[in-house]
Structure 1
């Protein structure tokens, strides 16, 4: 009797499903504080920023055509989506090293699945904040939902590309991972997360927009507040240029150095 022969796609799908269940359980149940930190971190940053704004600016409105707290929440959530993909994907290979004894499991598989798990969790937390904000009377419902969803997806792809590249570089050149972790806080400050891009002097906006993250955050905020002014030069096309470049680079590194990534 002829044995059942599975196709390559069926094998890959089975591997991804097993990795997804393993990663989701580890992410949500292995650490008792996992859900707490995912929710508490943005609340703490929001409280700090609101306190600083009240202390320094009083009741002056910094944001045009948008409430400050919803504007800040949306920016933080978009940035955390990118940052978690950038940082957490670097440890995906080491966390699943024992599985590489199975030839069906490649180093790129746990990286992709961890990114999907992170995006799913961050999207759930974002929806939770939107729901709570609406209950509290905040303007948290998007005026242009499709644009908001596309900007959110774009930020995820940028984070996936960055994390995919760094996951390989971190194994090949360990110093690269340390540098990436050190850049997390400066990126928060220079990506327009806690201040509007419109207050940056015009002659400095060109340098500010070299960073692809503000392009996604500004479009995401514009999707929630249709009258929110987006500065000239903001484009998701530029963000996708970086996302596709980093995705291609990451896949090339994983393909070229697959055996070294498994062995290290």
Structure 2
């Protein structure tokens, strides 16, 4: 009988395999027990789009600044959901998988990355389906500046990862933050430009909202996708700086707290 050989893996291969296993576990946990399954990931944002589009329709128009209201609102709700979900679902990523930390290869950062990847996968899937639906109904879905859209999305993802690391670390140090963070983020739904644009607001309001990096990201995405004029108060540099600073703070907090995540 031949001796079985065990192939050794390097650290990168172990990292990849652990993240993939946790990713599949997250998929099963979130969607496997529901009949609608993956359809719910599409239904939820489309419900928001339908409600706000109907509100505009009741005002006698299905357009916002000369563009399809559903597309305009979709370009706001999806980036916001990506940020919000990455941040809030990071809070309990470690605690939900604590039993797996008995395995030497599994660390809290793996659980966080698996959740971020799932949110990004859902984002891409829902965007593709929705754009196909609009195209089917002969809505102009051409992208004005793909580079700007991708750049704004990239730094929004960096911002959301940094925020997720921050909330994960804060919840580890102060467990009551798990209830406080969702309360603090609810106003962002109305302050991030989901169903309105800077061009429809007074200059004073835009100047105040421009401190919100999510609002900046959504405005940049709409500028890149629809070709809308950008307010002088919206700064791409500001978004980049806030995203990178948030990421650095998040990494610092994670370094300070990851051992406690495993031990508690």
Please give the TM-score of this superposition, normalised by the length of structure 2. 0.90
More deviation, 185-194/25-34:
25-34
Any residues of structure 2 matched to 1:1-264 within 5 Å, and which? 6-55=9-58, 57-59=59-61, 63-226=64-227, 228-264=228-264
Q: Distance in 2 between matches of 1:260 and 1:110?
A: 15
CA distance in 1, matches of 2:24, 2:165: 20
| Separation in structure 2 between the aligned mates of residue 167 and residue 33 of structure 1, nearest angstrom | 29
Please list every run of 5 or more consecutive structure 2 residues that lacks an aligned counterpart in the other structure: none
The separation in 2 between residues aligned to 1:37 and 1:182, in whole angstroms, is 24
Q: Taking structure 1 as reference, are residues 52 and 258 closer, same or farther at Cα in structure 2, changes over 3 Å only? A: same
Residue deviations 1:204-248 (CA, integer Å, cap 9, x gap): 32221110001111111112112x121113223212222222222
148-157 or 98-107, which deviates more: 148-157
Deviations 1:108-165 (A, max 9, x none): 2101121011111111111110111111111223122222222222222211111121
Bigger Cα displacement from structure 2, 120-129 vs 41-50: 41-50
Equivalents in 2 of 1:203, 1:109: separation in Å? 43
Q: Which moved more, 1:137-146 or 1:157-166?
A: 137-146
The answer to whether the Cα contact below 8 Å between 1:65 and 1:225 also exists between their aligned partners in 2 is: no
Q: Deviations over 1:185-216 (max 9, x none)?
A: 31110011111112222123222111000111
**CA–CA distance in structure 1, aligned partners of residues 26 and 44 of structure 2:** 21
Q: Distance in 1 between matches of 2:7 and 2:132?
A: 48
Deviation digits for residues 6-39 of structure 1 (CA, Å, limit 9, x no counterpart): 4332332232222222223333323334423321
Q: In angstroms, what is the RMSD of aligned CA positions?
A: 2.2
**1:155 touches 1:213 (CA, 8 Å); kept in 2?**
yes
Q: For residues 36-63 of structure 1, what are the alpha-carbon distances to aligned partners after superposition, in whole Å with 9 as ceiling and x for unaligned?
A: 33212222212221222233x32385x3
Change over 3 Å in CA distance of 1:19–1:200 after alignment to 2: same
Give the match's secondary structure for 2:187. helix
Deviations 1:74-107 (A, max 9, x none): 1111111111111112121112111111222211
Structure 1 unmatched runs, 5+: none
Q: Number of residue pairs matched?
A: 261
